[in-house]
Amino acid sequence: MHIDVQPSPRAVAREAARLIADAVADRPSLAIALPTGQTPLPLYRELIVSYAQSKIDFSQVSFFNLDEFVGLGHTHAASYHAFLKHHLLDPLGIRANQIFTIRGDARDSVAEAARYEQAIAKRGGIDIAVLGIGANGHIGFNEPARHLHPRTHLLTLAPATRRANAWLFGDRLRDVPRQAISMGVATILSARGVLLIATGAAKAPIVHRAIQGPVTTSVPASLVQLHPDAIVLLDKAAASRL
Ligand code: F6R
Protein backbone atom coordinates (compact mmCIF):
# COMPACT_ATOMS: atom_id res chain seq x y z
CA MET A 1 0.00 0.00 0.00
CA HIS A 2 1.46 3.31 -1.03
CA ILE A 3 0.48 6.27 1.16
CA ASP A 4 0.72 9.73 -0.34
CA VAL A 5 0.03 12.74 1.87
CA GLN A 6 -0.78 15.96 0.03
CA PRO A 7 -1.00 19.45 1.53
CA SER A 8 -4.70 20.06 0.78
CA PRO A 9 -7.91 18.49 -0.56
CA ARG A 10 -7.27 20.33 -3.83
CA ALA A 11 -3.82 18.74 -4.10
CA VAL A 12 -5.38 15.32 -3.40
CA ALA A 13 -7.85 15.95 -6.22
CA ARG A 14 -5.10 17.01 -8.60
CA GLU A 15 -2.96 13.99 -7.82
CA ALA A 16 -5.91 11.58 -8.11
CA ALA A 17 -6.89 13.16 -11.45
CA ARG A 18 -3.29 12.83 -12.64
CA LEU A 19 -3.19 9.14 -11.69
CA ILE A 20 -6.49 8.49 -13.49
CA ALA A 21 -5.39 10.48 -16.55
CA ASP A 22 -2.12 8.52 -16.75
CA ALA A 23 -3.98 5.22 -16.44
CA VAL A 24 -6.46 6.19 -19.18
CA ALA A 25 -3.61 7.36 -21.43
CA ASP A 26 -1.89 3.98 -20.93
CA ARG A 27 -5.07 2.00 -21.51
CA PRO A 28 -7.94 4.02 -23.02
CA SER A 29 -10.56 1.29 -22.48
CA LEU A 30 -10.33 1.18 -18.69
CA ALA A 31 -13.22 0.23 -16.41
CA ILE A 32 -13.34 2.64 -13.48
CA ALA A 33 -15.48 2.27 -10.36
CA LEU A 34 -16.43 5.56 -8.74
CA PRO A 35 -17.73 6.68 -5.36
CA THR A 36 -20.21 9.42 -4.63
CA GLY A 37 -20.08 11.70 -1.60
CA GLN A 38 -18.27 14.87 -0.60
CA THR A 39 -14.70 13.59 -0.91
CA PRO A 40 -14.56 12.95 -4.68
CA LEU A 41 -16.21 16.23 -5.72
CA PRO A 42 -12.91 18.16 -6.08
CA LEU A 43 -11.51 15.19 -8.05
CA TYR A 44 -14.48 15.24 -10.40
CA ARG A 45 -14.08 18.99 -10.90
CA GLU A 46 -10.41 18.46 -11.66
CA LEU A 47 -11.19 15.73 -14.21
CA ILE A 48 -13.71 17.99 -15.91
CA VAL A 49 -11.16 20.81 -16.12
CA SER A 50 -8.47 18.46 -17.48
CA TYR A 51 -10.93 17.03 -19.99
CA ALA A 52 -11.95 20.50 -21.14
CA GLN A 53 -8.28 21.13 -21.80
CA SER A 54 -8.32 17.85 -23.82
CA LYS A 55 -5.71 16.22 -21.66
CA ILE A 56 -7.75 13.03 -21.25
CA ASP A 57 -9.79 11.07 -23.76
CA PHE A 58 -12.55 9.25 -21.87
CA SER A 59 -14.41 8.05 -24.95
CA GLN A 60 -13.54 4.38 -24.42
CA VAL A 61 -13.67 4.29 -20.61
CA SER A 62 -16.46 2.37 -18.84
CA PHE A 63 -17.78 3.87 -15.61
CA PHE A 64 -19.31 1.81 -12.82
CA ASN A 65 -20.80 3.17 -9.63
CA LEU A 66 -19.83 1.46 -6.39
CA ASP A 67 -23.26 1.54 -4.82
CA GLU A 68 -26.82 2.82 -4.98
CA PHE A 69 -29.76 3.43 -2.66
CA VAL A 70 -32.59 0.93 -2.91
CA GLY A 71 -35.85 2.47 -4.08
CA LEU A 72 -34.37 5.35 -6.09
CA GLY A 73 -34.65 5.30 -9.87
CA HIS A 74 -31.99 6.83 -12.09
CA THR A 75 -33.85 10.08 -12.39
CA HIS A 76 -34.24 10.60 -8.62
CA ALA A 77 -32.08 13.62 -7.76
CA ALA A 78 -30.56 11.88 -4.70
CA SER A 79 -29.68 8.67 -6.55
CA TYR A 80 -26.00 7.94 -6.92
CA HIS A 81 -26.63 7.50 -10.64
CA ALA A 82 -27.91 11.09 -10.86
CA PHE A 83 -25.03 12.28 -8.66
CA LEU A 84 -22.36 10.81 -10.91
CA LYS A 85 -24.12 12.00 -14.06
CA HIS A 86 -24.44 15.52 -12.72
CA HIS A 87 -20.99 15.89 -11.14
CA LEU A 88 -18.89 14.01 -13.67
CA LEU A 89 -20.35 12.00 -16.51
CA ASP A 90 -22.53 14.62 -18.22
CA PRO A 91 -19.90 17.38 -18.07
CA LEU A 92 -17.43 14.87 -19.57
CA GLY A 93 -19.90 14.02 -22.36
CA ILE A 94 -19.88 10.32 -21.44
CA ARG A 95 -22.25 8.26 -23.61
CA ALA A 96 -24.97 6.04 -22.09
CA ASN A 97 -23.24 2.88 -23.34
CA GLN A 98 -20.17 3.75 -21.26
CA ILE A 99 -22.17 3.99 -18.01
CA PHE A 100 -22.90 0.96 -15.85
CA THR A 101 -24.99 1.73 -12.82
CA ILE A 102 -27.09 -0.16 -10.32
CA ARG A 103 -30.87 0.20 -10.63
CA GLY A 104 -32.01 1.17 -7.15
CA ASP A 105 -35.63 0.84 -8.25
CA ALA A 106 -35.28 -2.69 -9.62
CA ARG A 107 -38.24 -4.81 -8.50
CA ASP A 108 -35.89 -7.52 -7.24
CA SER A 109 -32.79 -6.02 -5.58
CA VAL A 110 -31.09 -9.39 -5.13
CA ALA A 111 -31.45 -10.14 -8.85
CA GLU A 112 -30.25 -6.60 -9.65
CA ALA A 113 -27.12 -7.14 -7.54
CA ALA A 114 -26.41 -10.37 -9.42
CA ARG A 115 -27.02 -8.65 -12.77
CA TYR A 116 -24.57 -5.88 -11.84
CA GLU A 117 -21.90 -8.32 -10.74
CA GLN A 118 -22.28 -10.09 -14.09
CA ALA A 119 -22.00 -6.79 -15.96
CA ILE A 120 -18.72 -6.11 -14.15
CA ALA A 121 -17.42 -9.60 -14.97
CA LYS A 122 -18.50 -9.26 -18.60
CA ARG A 123 -16.53 -6.07 -18.87
CA GLY A 124 -13.45 -7.96 -17.58
CA GLY A 125 -13.58 -6.66 -14.00
CA ILE A 126 -12.71 -3.24 -12.68
CA ASP A 127 -9.34 -1.71 -13.59
CA ILE A 128 -9.33 1.14 -11.09
CA ALA A 129 -11.57 1.30 -8.02
CA VAL A 130 -11.65 4.84 -6.68
CA LEU A 131 -12.83 4.70 -3.06
CA GLY A 132 -13.85 7.08 -0.34
CA ILE A 133 -14.01 5.92 3.26
CA GLY A 134 -16.95 6.26 5.60
CA ALA A 135 -16.32 7.58 9.12
CA ASN A 136 -17.19 4.03 10.27
CA GLY A 137 -14.62 2.51 7.88
CA HIS A 138 -16.97 1.39 5.12
CA ILE A 139 -15.87 1.22 1.50
CA GLY A 140 -18.64 1.34 -1.06
CA PHE A 141 -21.50 0.54 1.28
CA ASN A 142 -19.75 -2.43 2.87
CA GLU A 143 -20.56 -1.59 6.47
CA PRO A 144 -18.55 -2.92 9.43
CA ALA A 145 -19.77 -6.44 10.28
CA ARG A 146 -18.57 -9.85 11.38
CA HIS A 147 -18.98 -11.12 7.85
CA LEU A 148 -18.52 -9.09 4.70
CA HIS A 149 -20.15 -9.99 1.40
CA PRO A 150 -17.66 -10.67 -1.34
CA ARG A 151 -19.81 -9.66 -4.31
CA THR A 152 -22.45 -7.08 -5.17
CA HIS A 153 -25.28 -7.45 -2.69
CA LEU A 154 -28.30 -5.94 -0.99
CA LEU A 155 -27.56 -4.50 2.47
CA THR A 156 -28.96 -2.46 5.33
CA LEU A 157 -27.25 0.89 5.83
CA ALA A 158 -25.72 1.71 9.21
CA PRO A 159 -27.55 4.55 11.03
CA ALA A 160 -24.37 6.67 10.82
CA THR A 161 -24.24 6.17 7.05
CA ARG A 162 -27.86 7.28 6.69
CA ARG A 163 -27.09 10.39 8.75
CA ALA A 164 -23.97 11.12 6.66
CA ASN A 165 -26.09 10.97 3.49
CA ALA A 166 -28.97 13.11 4.73
CA TRP A 167 -27.51 16.16 2.94
CA LEU A 168 -28.46 14.53 -0.36
CA PHE A 169 -32.09 14.48 0.81
CA GLY A 170 -32.34 18.09 1.97
CA ASP A 171 -31.24 17.02 5.48
CA ARG A 172 -34.42 14.93 5.89
CA LEU A 173 -33.13 11.76 7.56
CA ARG A 174 -36.48 10.02 7.18
CA ASP A 175 -36.12 10.24 3.38
CA VAL A 176 -32.77 8.45 3.32
CA PRO A 177 -33.35 4.84 2.20
CA ARG A 178 -32.58 2.11 4.72
CA GLN A 179 -31.16 -0.27 2.16
CA ALA A 180 -28.61 -0.08 -0.61
CA ILE A 181 -26.89 -2.28 -3.16
CA SER A 182 -23.11 -2.20 -3.13
CA MET A 183 -20.22 -3.87 -4.87
CA GLY A 184 -18.77 -6.38 -2.42
CA VAL A 185 -15.29 -6.27 -0.98
CA ALA A 186 -13.99 -9.00 -3.29
CA THR A 187 -15.41 -7.16 -6.31
CA ILE A 188 -13.65 -4.00 -5.17
CA LEU A 189 -10.39 -5.67 -4.19
CA SER A 190 -10.31 -7.61 -7.48
CA ALA A 191 -9.75 -4.27 -9.21
CA ARG A 192 -6.29 -4.08 -10.75
CA GLY A 193 -5.64 -0.83 -8.91
CA VAL A 194 -7.30 0.73 -5.87
CA LEU A 195 -7.17 4.46 -5.18
CA LEU A 196 -8.57 5.38 -1.77
CA ILE A 197 -8.96 9.07 -1.07
CA ALA A 198 -9.74 10.76 2.24
CA THR A 199 -9.66 14.40 3.24
CA GLY A 200 -10.43 16.40 6.36
CA ALA A 201 -9.72 15.98 10.07
CA ALA A 202 -13.00 14.11 10.67
CA LYS A 203 -11.59 11.16 8.72
CA ALA A 204 -8.25 11.09 10.62
CA PRO A 205 -9.25 8.50 13.29
CA ILE A 206 -10.72 6.03 10.80
CA VAL A 207 -7.86 6.54 8.32
CA HIS A 208 -5.48 5.66 11.15
CA ARG A 209 -7.43 2.47 11.97
CA ALA A 210 -7.79 1.48 8.30
CA ILE A 211 -4.12 1.95 7.44
CA GLN A 212 -2.23 1.22 10.63
CA GLY A 213 -4.67 -1.00 12.48
CA PRO A 214 -5.23 -4.72 11.98
CA VAL A 215 -7.04 -5.99 8.89
CA THR A 216 -10.54 -6.57 10.20
CA THR A 217 -14.09 -6.75 8.92
CA SER A 218 -14.98 -4.17 11.62
CA VAL A 219 -13.10 -1.66 9.47
CA PRO A 220 -13.81 -2.78 5.90
CA ALA A 221 -11.34 -0.21 4.51
CA SER A 222 -8.53 -2.04 6.35
CA LEU A 223 -8.87 -4.80 3.74
CA VAL A 224 -7.29 -2.38 1.27
CA GLN A 225 -4.01 -3.19 3.09
CA LEU A 226 -4.16 -6.59 1.37
CA HIS A 227 -4.38 -5.19 -2.14
CA PRO A 228 -1.11 -5.50 -4.08
CA ASP A 229 -1.52 -2.19 -5.90
CA ALA A 230 -3.34 0.22 -3.61
CA ILE A 231 -2.65 3.92 -3.32
CA VAL A 232 -4.03 5.90 -0.39
CA LEU A 233 -4.18 9.61 -1.11
CA LEU A 234 -4.71 11.81 1.95
CA ASP A 235 -4.58 15.45 2.77
CA LYS A 236 -2.61 16.53 5.85
CA ALA A 237 -5.71 16.69 8.03
CA ALA A 238 -6.84 13.13 7.20
CA ALA A 239 -3.27 11.89 7.74
CA SER A 240 -2.85 13.71 11.07
CA ARG A 241 -3.18 10.54 13.22
CA LEU A 242 -0.71 8.46 11.21
C1 F6R B 1 -20.37 6.21 -1.78
C2 F6R B 1 -19.31 5.40 -1.17
C3 F6R B 1 -18.97 5.63 0.25
C4 F6R B 1 -18.33 7.02 0.44
C5 F6R B 1 -18.02 7.27 1.93
C6 F6R B 1 -17.39 8.63 2.15
O7 F6R B 1 -20.52 5.88 -3.14
O8 F6R B 1 -18.76 4.55 -1.83
O9 F6R B 1 -18.10 4.64 0.70
O10 F6R B 1 -17.14 7.07 -0.30
O11 F6R B 1 -19.21 7.18 2.66
O12 F6R B 1 -18.31 9.63 1.86
P13 F6R B 1 -17.87 11.16 1.90
O14 F6R B 1 -16.90 11.35 0.81
O15 F6R B 1 -19.15 11.91 1.65
O16 F6R B 1 -17.29 11.39 3.26
Q: What is the pLDDT of residue 54?
A: 77
| Ligand 1, atom 8, residue with closest C-alpha | 140
Q: What is the pLDDT of residue 52?
A: 80
Q: What is the pLDDT of residue 51?
A: 82
- Look at the alpha carbons of 144, 146, 150, 151 in this order and tell me if their dihedral is positive or negative: negative
Q: Is 208 a catalytic residue?
A: no
Q: What is the pLDDT of residue 229?
A: 96
Q: What is the pLDDT of residue 92?
A: 94
Q: What is the pLDDT of residue 165?
A: 97
Of 67, 68, 127, 235, which residue is the catalytic one? Answer: 67
Atom number, ligand 1, closest to the C-alpha of residue 165: 15
Q: What is the pLDDT of residue 86?
A: 97
pLDDT lower than 70: segments of the chain: none
Q: Is 138 a catalytic residue?
A: yes
As for ligand 1, residues whose beta carbon falls within 6 Å of it are 35-39, 66-67, 80, 132-134, 138-140
Q: What is the pLDDT of residue 55?
A: 80
Q: What is the pLDDT of residue 215?
A: 98
Q: What is the pLDDT of residue 66?
A: 98
Question: pLDDT tens across 120-159, in order?
Answer: 999 999 999 999 999 999 999 999 999 999 999 999 999 9
**Nearest CA among 139, 119, 120, 138 for reference residue 130:** 139
| Ligand 1, atom 5, residue with closest C-alpha | 134
Q: What is the pLDDT of residue 132?
A: 98
**Nearest CA among 129, 118, 122, 119 for reference residue 33:** 129
As to burial, measured by CB atoms within 10 angstroms (0-12 exposed, 13-18 middle, 19+ buried), residue 136 is middle
Question: pLDDT tens across 52-83, in order?
Answer: 887 889 999 999 999 999 999 999 999 999 99
What does the chain come to in residues?
242
| Ligand 1, atom 14, residue with closest C-alpha | 39
